[in-house]
Amino acid sequence: MRLSELSRAAGLPRATVRWYLRVGLLHPGTPTAANQARYDETHVRRLRLVRVLLEVGGMSVDAARRVLAAVDRADVSVGELLAVAHRALSTTSPRGDRPEELAAVDRFLTDRGWQVRPDSPARRDLAAVLAALRDLGPDSAPPVDTPAAVDRLLTPYAAAAERIARSEIRNAPAGLTREQLVERVIAGSVLMERALTALRRLAHEHHAIQRYGAGRDAPAAG
Amino acid sequence: MRLSELSRAAGLPRATVRWYLRVGLLHPGTPTAANQARYDETHVRRLRLVRVLLEVGGMSVDAARRVLAAVDRADVSVGELLAVAHRALSTTSPRGDRPEELAAVDRFLTDRGWQVRPDSPARRDLAAVLAALRDLGPDSAPPVDTPAAVDRLLTPYAAAAERIARSEIRNAPAGLTREQLVERVIAGSVLMERALTALRRLAHEHHAIQRYGAGRDAPAAG
């Protein structure tokens, strides 16, 4: 197909598709004439994935390019790919390298039997949260000063995360090609993380309204 | 206390504290002489909250200012405050206003009996995820073309979110002042959302390593 057809198939303006080609988020088509090329289904699929990373994941072009490079390398395992995606999604957490909080995170993960890569950015993200809670102090935040307190605080979240990971693995269809698997893993990790965040906010709002009232504006069902 | 003492108490450079004063993230101290002022515990507490919003929540100065304005208004309910915080955390989702996906979200929320404000940004975030899944198509993403499919996909996440919200409410200490309650709600919603995301990523990595292997680098426990 031509660039105009590709743009229509992907639901993106032609200028955007050209820009993705220029910055290397989309592989070039097969040249047919000067300034003309043919594109195929692989381009449509890739554009859909690019939209997920940029629009939903909020990634920079550089971050999305790193994820796509990992997607395209056959020797990158699913575990590594997730780490690359999580690194691209992760924001820098200035307090994520405090040794005491990193040790608390590692203790918690070991207790749960979770194996994660030591360079996993989520490990530092979690340490940054513990550091912020400790800095806030017991007046404004739950205590995190002992392993038991950390355990009490994090366990409901970890149990929820565990249940979700299990159900995702259970529901993953069998017999996927590596390409399909990898796309599903990336799209799933970006999109379903966003879905979980949105649902947590909605549950939080629902329960806050139940407990503390709706305030001046009346709530609406749904 | 003086500005230098405030800066030490909050663990922030003096220049940063001065900048927060200038952009209105911190209320002025009581003037004592030309270019001198006294600060108190309210300034220390506010600085801790500002760090949570900016460093962990990744909010812009404008977004953090909107949240703090709501924190300071005694007539803003906890439900409203959460909506303000969620709006400040939310990224724009270009596909969040597609009517079909918004209707699917509303149906799902009504079925679960969740009451949320119709202007809740999380509602649009969730619609944007459904729109992205639909655009990816059944080859690369789970199906979302019927209410039953949406229900099947979202229920594990919603159940997890519900359990977390319940346990947060159960664990909230009683007898807090409004100020303490509001600080806890904001800090908790920003920090524990980040904790949940980190734990979900870690669980995801753990299960991916279990199922698909660790790849070239060996995983480390914890």
Determine phi and psi for A115, rounding to 5 degrees. -95, 120
3-state helix, strand, coil in chain B (%, to 5): 65, 5, 30
Average pLDDT along chain A:
87
Q: Is the sign of the CA dihedral A208, A211, A213, A219 positive or negative?
A: positive
Give the nearest partner residue to B77 out of A201, A213, A221, using CB atoms: A213
Provide the shortest C-alpha distance from residue A65 to chain B (in Å): 19
* Per-residue pLDDT band at A217 (split at 50, 70, 90): very low
* Per-residue pLDDT band at A29 (split at 50, 70, 90): very high
Residue B92: its pLDDT value, please?
A: 66
The H or E element spanning position B133 is helix B121-136
Higher pLDDT, A80 or B217: A80
* Per-residue pLDDT band at B81 (split at 50, 70, 90): confident
Residue A215: its pLDDT value, please?
A: 55
C-alpha span between B17 and B26 (Å, rounded): 8
User: Which tokens hold the place of A166?
Assistant: 């299990």
CA atoms within 13 A on the CB side of A161: 28
3-state helix, strand, coil in chain A (%, to 5): 65, 5, 30
pLDDT at A174 over 90: no
Residue B77: its pLDDT value, please?
A: 83
pLDDT in tens, B108-167: 999 999 988 888 889 999 999 999 999 888 877 888 999 999 999 999 999 999 999 888
Contact B207 A183 (CB under 8 A): no
User: Which tokens hold the place of B137?
Assistant: 């198509």
Higher pLDDT, B154 or B94: B154
- Model confidence, pTM: 0.87
* Per-residue pLDDT band at A185 (split at 50, 70, 90): confident
Which residues on chain A are in Cβ contact (under 8 Å) with B144? Answer: none
Residues in Cβ contact with B177 at an 8 Å cutoff, skipping those fewer than 6 apart: none
pLDDT at A195 over 70: yes
pLDDT at B215 over 60: no
Determine phi and psi for B27, rounding to 5 degrees. -75, 150
Helix, strand, or coil (residue A24)? coil
Residue B216: its pLDDT value, please?
A: 46
Interface test mutation site (partner B, options A201, A209, A217, max chain B beta carbons within 10 A): A201
What does each C-alpha distance from B94 to A114, A222, B16, B87 come to in angstroms?
Answer: 36, 21, 34, 15
Q: Which residue is listed with tokens 């799933």?
A: A188
Residue A31: its pLDDT value, please?
A: 93
Higher pLDDT, A117 or A36: A36
Q: Is the CB of B27 inside 8 Å of chain A's CB atoms?
A: no
* Per-residue pLDDT band at B218 (split at 50, 70, 90): very low
Within 10 Å of residue B121's Cβ, how many Cβ atoms? Answer: 22
Contact B203 A110 (CB under 8 A): no
C-alpha span between B143 and A176 (Å, rounded): 15
Flag the least confident range among A88-92, B1-5, B43-47: A88-92
**Chains A–B, number of C-beta pairs less than 8 Å apart:** 355
Average pLDDT along chain B:
87
Most confident of A136-145, B7-16, B49-58: B7-16
Which residues on chain B are in Cβ contact (under 8 Å) with A203? Answer: 114, 158, 161-162, 164-165
Residue A92: its pLDDT value, please?
A: 66
| Selected residues 113-152 of chain A with any CB under 8 Å from a CB in chain B | 114-118, 120-123, 125-126, 128-129, 132-133, 135-137, 139-142
Provide the shortest C-alpha distance from residue B42 to chain A (in Å): 12
pLDDT at A218 over 90: no
